[in-house]
Chains A and B, each alone.
Chain A
Amino acid sequence: MSHATGTIVGVNGNMLTVAFEGAVGQNEVGYAKIGDLGLMAEIVRIRGNLADMQVFEDTTDLTVGGTVDFTGDLLSVELGPGLLKGIYDGLQNPLPDLAEECGFFLQRGMYMDSLDRSAKWDFTPKASPGDTVTAGEILGTVPEGIFEHAIMVPFAFKGTFTVETVAPAGSYTIEKTIAQLKDEAGNSVDVCMFQRWPVKMPITAYAERLRPTEPLVTQVRIVDTFFPVARGGTYCIPGPFGAGKTVLQQITSRNAEVDIVVIAACGERAGEVVETLREFPELTDPRTGKSLMDRTVIICNTSSMPVAAREASVYTGVTIAGYYRLMGLDVLLLADSTSRWAQALRETSGRLEEIPGEEAFPAYLESVIASFYERGGIVRLKDGRSGSITIGGTVSPAGGNFDEPVTQATLKVVGAFHGLSRSRSDARRYPAIDPLDSWSKYNTVVDNEVVAFAADLLRRGTEVGQMMKVVGEEGTSDDDFIMYLKAEYLDAVYLQQNAYDTVDGATPAERQKQVFGVIAEILKSSMTFEDKDAARRFFHELTQLTRDWNRLKTDQDGFKEAQARLDKAVSEVSKNA
C-alpha cells in the first residue's frame, strides 16, 4: 500500500504546513525531506488538504515546495528484550549508538533501531501448539539481566488466536519468528520477539485494574511515614527551582523498592541525566547485588533537544513501563519535569494559533495530564499475577506558585502531593517537602494514629513558632515553648534526611518503624525544665544524639547504646520517669 505524499507550503519554527494528496491520519508520522535527509514529523492538525505537522528536529534549511513522505504509522516505540540499561532520546533512538555514529553532537535526521538486531537471546517456549491465546499472554521467555523477560502475543492482536507452532528452546535474534498463530478467521500470523506500539495509546492487554493499597517504600522518611506513595499510585512533586525536586527524584530512583525504574528526563538539564548515566552503572542495587543500571531505562530529552520530541518522551517512557508491567513487574516511572512537557504542548498550540487558555496553555491541558497519570496503576494480568506502574512527576511551577495551571491540573489526578517549599530549602531543611501543605491518600508504613499525632504536633509547633515572632519568647508559655521545640526536634531528626550520608540517606521501612516509635515516645513524654534556655539546650543535645544515631547502621556496634543514651537523656527531664 502506498502512502500519501505532501508538499511543504509553510515553515514556522518547528511547525510545517503541508499540502497533501491521498489520505492521512491525525498523529500520522511523515518525513520532511532536505536532500537525502528526512526529518521526522507528526501531524497535529488537518484542515482541508493542509496538514500541520510538528517536526521532531531543527527545521533550518527546509524550503517551501519540499516533499513530505507519510508513513501511515503513528509515532511508535519498539518493545522487546534489550530495553533495560537503555539510554534513549524522546523518540527512542539509542543515544550511545548515536554517539558512536555521529560523535559529540546529535545530528538531525539520524534515526536508529532502538533494539539491537544482532543480539541473541536464549528463548524458552512457554506456550504449546494448540493453546488459545490473546494479546498480552506469554508465548515464551528470555532472560534479561535479573528478570525473565516475557515474549507476549502482540498487544495489537484483537480476538483469540490458536498457537500453531512455537520455536524450540534456542538462541535467536529479535527479528526471528518464534511462533505462528492462527486467528479466528483462519489466517496465519508470524510473531517475533519484539513488537511496535504507538506511544499515545495505553496498553490494555491485562485482565483488570486494581486499587493501589500496598505502600511503595522510597526510603525517604518524610515520604514513607507522612506522605506515602502506593505501588501503582501516582504522586507529584511541585516546587520552585532549587528546592530539590530532581535530587529527590534521583534518590527515589536509587532507593525505591521496585523492580524497574523508567526515568523520563523531559526538558530538564542534561547534567542531571549525565549523573544518572555515569553513576548508575557503578552503583549496586542492594536488593539484587547487581548494578542499578540493570533495572533502569533512561529516556532523556533534555531542554536543548527539540521540543516536539520532548512531548513524545513522557509517552515513550510510560509505554515502556506499561510493557514491563505486563510481565508482572513493579515499575516506577519518574517524569522530570511534567511542566516542560506541558510547555511543549503550549509551544505547539501557540504555533497552531489555537485559542489559548490560562497562561497561554492549551485548553486541553487538563485532560492530557489526567490521561497521562491514568496510565499508571496496578493491574491483574491475564494469568492472575499482578504488575504495577507508579508514576511520580515533578512540576516546575512558574515563580514557585502552585496556583498555576499545570500544578492544579496535576493535583486533581494524583494520589499524593509532595509540595516542596522555598523556605525549607533556604533553611537547608532537606528534603524540602513541606510537612504542612503536602498530603497523601495512601497508607503509611508506620502506625496511622502516631502519624496523625506527630502531624498535629508539627502543626501546633509551627503555630507557636509563628506566634513567637509576634509575642516573643517571653510571651510564650513554657508548655507551648516545649511543644515548639519538640516540633523542631521532629523536623531536625526525622523529616530532614542527609541524602549524602550512606546510612541516613536511605531508611528502610523496618527502621522507620523502629526510629519513629522511639521518637514518638519522646514527643509524647511530658518534660519540665528550669527555664527556656535550659529547654533549648536540652533539645540541642537531644538533636545531636539522635542525628548521630541516624548515622549508625542498625547492626553496627553502638546503635543500641546510642538509643539507650537517648532514652536516658529523656528520662532525666521527664516528669513520669
Chain B
Amino acid sequence: MHKVYHHVERIAGNVITIRADNVKYRELAEVTSRHGSSLAQVIRLEHGEVSLQVFAGSRGVATDARVRFLGHAMQVPFSDALLGRAFTGGVQPRDNGPTLTENLTNIGGPSVNPSKRIIPCKMVRTGIPMIDVFNTLVESQKLPIFARAGEPYNPLLARIALQAEVDVIILGGMGLKHDDYLTFRDTLEESGALSRTVMFVHTAADPVVECLLVPDISLAVAEQFALEGKRVLVLLTDMTNFADAMKEIAITMEQIPSNRGYPGDLYSQLASRYEKAVDFDTAGSITILAATTMPGDDVTHPVPDNTGYITEGQFYLRNARIEPFGSLSRLKQQVNGDTRDDHRTIMDTMIQLYAGYKETTEKQSMGFRMSEWDNRLLKYGERFESEMMDLSVNIPLEEALDLGWKILAECFDPVETGIHSELIDAFWPSNGQKPEAVAVASD
C-alpha cells in the first residue's frame, strides 16, 4: 500500500517539495500531472518535508500533481535480453524493442570489499602503439580520455571497444549528441559487436536528471554481467556532462559550492562510479573507459582534476593524437614486465628522447643553431610522430617494439639512448644505419 499525495509545496529547478510521512531516503515516486508523468527520487528529508528530483524535469508539474511513492529506490532490469538494446537514462527503450521489467536490481549498490579484489594482470590489446607500448591498458582499469570538445574521443572509444577482447560492451552516453549516438550504434552494428552491447544513452535533448542516472545504471548492469563471470567494458561519454548535471542539482538544493560551482562531494561522487571498475576474485571484470572533456583545454578544471586523482591514469587526446606527456596508465607495470624484456626500456627511452626533441623544436623555433645532437633529435621526433603517434597506426605490440628499435637505431648511437648494455646487445638492430651517414635534416 503506497500513499498518494496531491499537494506540491515548492518547485525549484527540477526539484519539487511536498509534505509527506514515512518516506524513505532515496525512495522513488511517480509524479503525474496533466502534462505527463515521470519518476522522481527523494533527495532530502527535512521534518515533514520531502524534496524529490523529477527525472523528466519539473516543466509542467502542477501544484496539484499526484505523487505516488513506490517504496523502493531506483532499479534496473537485468537479463541477457538487454544485449543489443538501447535505452534512455530512465531505462525506457530507445529502439523499437519492448520495455523490460524483469529481474530488477538496485543501482548504486555498495562498494566491493577490497579484500575480494585481485591485482589486475591481463593486458587489453588495442593495436594502438601509443596505448600498447607506452601506456598499456589493463583489464579492470578505469581510465579517462581527456580531450577538448571537438577531438575524436568518441571514435577512439569505439575503436578500442571493437578491438579489445571483451564479452560485453556497455555504452553510457551522457549529453551525447544524437548524431554521435547513431554513429556509435552504426559502428558497432557494422562490425557485428552490437549483439554484445547494451546502450544507455542520454542525449543532449533529454531531461538533465536522466543524465545523472546513466553511470549508475550502466555500472549496475556491468556489475551483474561481471558477477556472471563476463569481462565487461564500460564506455562512459562524457563525464563532464555528468558532473555538470550534478552541479545543477546541487545549486538548486542551495548547497555551498566548493570550486567553480561544483559541489564539495564531486570527488566522492565521481569516485563511487569509477571505483566500480574491478577484477573480481573468482568472477569477471569491469573495465571503464570514460571521455572527459576539458572546458578550455584546462586540466586543472575541477572535473578532469578530480577525475585524474581517481582513475588509474589518463590519456590526453590532443590534435587527434594520444599525447605521450601526461598520458599515463598506472597499471602498465602490472603487465608490461611480462610482454617482452625490452618493453619497459623502449617505453621509457623513446619518451625521454621525444622530450628532448620537444626541447629542440623550441630552440629551433627561436632560431638557434642546431647542433649535431639536435639534428638527430629532430629526425627522431619526426619519425616518432608519424610512425608511432599517429592514431591510424594499427599494429600489434611486438611489431611496435621492433619498430621502436628500428627508429632508434636509425637515429642514434647505442650510448646516446642511455639504454643499459645488456639490452643493447640483445636488441639493437645490427643493420641499423650508422648515425654518421644520416643526412642533416635541417639546413
User: Within 8 Å CB of A347, what residues of B?
Assistant: 264-265, 268
A201-209, A274-282, A320-328, A383-391 - interface stretch: A274-282
For A, the interface residue count at a CB cutoff of 8 angstroms equals 85
The contact of A95 among B114, B120, B272, B328, by CB within 8 Å, is B114
Is A571 located at the chain interface by the 8 A CB criterion? no
Contact indicator A428/B348 (Cβ below 8 Å): yes
Q: Which residues of A contact B371 (CB under 8 A)?
A: 473, 532-533
- Among B23, B112, B113, residue most surrounded by chain A Cβ atoms (within 10 Å): B113
B326 within 8 A of A: yes
**A374 lies within 8 A of chain B by Cβ:** no
Contact string, B247-283, partner A, CB cutoff 8 A, digits 1/0?
A: 0000000011111000111011001101110101001
How far is it, in angstroms, between the C-alpha of A274 and the C-alpha of B140 when the chains are bound?
Answer: 13
Residue of B nearest to A300 (CB): B114
B45, A533: Cβ atoms under 8 Å?
no
Contacts A65-B21, A353-B256 given; does A346 touch B264 at CB 8 Å: yes
Residue of chain B at shortest CB distance from A361: B258
Question: Would you give the 0/1 interface string for B266-306, flagging 1 where the beta carbon is closer than 8 Å to chain A?
Answer: 01100110111010100100000000000000011010011
- Nearest residue, chain B, Cβ from A15: B44
Cα-based distance from A340 to B271 in the complex (angstroms): 11
The answer, among A87, A99, A108, A271, for a CB contact under 8 Å with B120, is A271
Report Cα–Cα, A200/B300, bound state, in Å: 34
Q: Which of A521-577 contact B (CB under 8 A)?
A: 532-533, 536-537, 540-541, 543-544, 547-548, 551
Could you give, for residues 182-219 of chain A, a 1 whenever the CB lies within 8 Å of some chain B CB and a 0 otherwise?
Answer: 00000000000000000000000000000000000000
- Is A242 located at the chain interface by the 8 A CB criterion? yes
A258 interfacial by beta-carbon distance below 8 Å: no
Asked if B182 CB lies within 8 Å of chain A CBs, one says no
In the assembly, what is the distance between CA of A563 and CA of B389, in Å? 39
Per the bound structure, the CA–CA distance linking A80 and B271 in Å amounts to 34
Give the interface segment out of A119-127, A143-151, A398-406, A411-419. A398-406
Assess whether A398 is in contact with B305, with CB atoms less than 8 Å apart: yes
Asked if B117 is at the interface (CB within 8 A of a chain A CB), the reply is yes
> In the assembled complex, which residues on chain A have CB atoms less than 8 Å from the CB atom of B102?
none
Q: How many A-B residue pairs have CB under 8 A?
A: 225
Q: Are A350 and B258 in contact (CB under 8 A)?
A: yes
When distances are taken between beta carbons in the complex, the residues of chain A under 8 Å from B256 are: 350, 353, 356, 360
- Provided the pairs A65-B21, A102-B113, A107-B110 are in contact, do residues A10 and B258 lie with their beta carbons within 8 angstroms? no
Contacts of A63 in B (CB 8 A): 22-25, 45
The count of residues in chain B whose C-beta lies closer than 8 Å to any C-beta of chain A is: 82
Decide yes or no: A541 and B415 within 8 Å by CB, A60-B24, A343-B264 being known contacts: yes
Are the CB atoms of B328 and A60 closer together than 8 Å? no
Closest-CB distance, B408 to chain A (whole angstroms): 14
Q: Please tell me if the beta carbons of B418 and A547 are within 8 angstroms of each other in the complex.
A: yes
Mind listing 9 A-B residue pairs with CB under 8 Å?
A: A95-B114, A102-B113, A242-B330, A267-B271, A271-B140, A343-B264, A350-B264, A398-B306, A472-B369
Listed from nearest, the 5 A-B pairs whose CB atoms lie closest are A399-B300, A303-B271, A304-B275, A472-B368, A241-B308
Q: Which residues of A contact B (CB under 8 A)?
A: 8-13, 17, 58-65, 87, 95-96, 98-99, 102-108, 240-242, 267, 269-271, 273-275, 277-279, 300, 302-305, 307, 337, 340, 343-344, 346-347, 349-350, 353, 356, 359-360, 396, 398-401, 422, 426-428, 469-470, 472-474, 492, 500, 532-533, 536-537, 540-541, 543-544, 547-548, 551
User: Which B residues are closer than 8 A to A by beta carbons?
Assistant: 21-27, 44-48, 73, 109-120, 140, 227, 255-259, 263-265, 267-268, 271-272, 274-276, 278, 280, 283, 299-300, 302, 305-306, 308-310, 312-314, 325-326, 328, 330-331, 333, 337, 344, 348, 351-352, 355, 359, 362-363, 366, 368-369, 371-373, 415-416, 418, 420-421
